[in-house]
Amino acid sequence: MQKWMVEQLGDPKEALVLRTDEERPVRKKGQVLIRTEAAALNFFDILLCQALIKKNLRCLLRWEQKLQEQLQR
């Protein structure tokens, strides 16, 4: 299994590390295990790496809402 981890705050190129040595999670009673074939990083993830998310959360949500509105046109 592979996963992206934020190991330090800062530039996403340095903060994000791809871990390839992780064991596959084991499903426990009352849980669901979902196979993911592809995932993407987005603007929210970049702000999270830079520790800007708390300060800019309201702005980010408005930005994403406006982007969704434009994509639906």
On the question of pLDDT at 4 being above 80, the answer is: yes
Three-class DSSP category at 66: helix
Mean pLDDT over 4-11 rounds to: 83
- Angle at CA of residue 19, ends 17 and 5, nearest 5°: 45
Give me the pLDDT at residue 39, please. Answer: 83
- What does the pLDDT look like over 12-68, one tens digit per residue? 888 888 888 888 889 999 999 988 888 888 887 887 788 776 655 566 667 777 778
The DSSP bridge partners found for residue 5 are 17
Give me the pLDDT at residue 54, please. Answer: 61
Give me the pLDDT at residue 32, please. Answer: 93
d(CA 27, CA 56): 35
On the question of pLDDT at 1 being above 70, the answer is: yes
Q: Report the candidate in 17, 14, 4 with the shortest Cα–Cα distance to residue 50.
A: 14
CB 44 within 8 A of CB 62: no
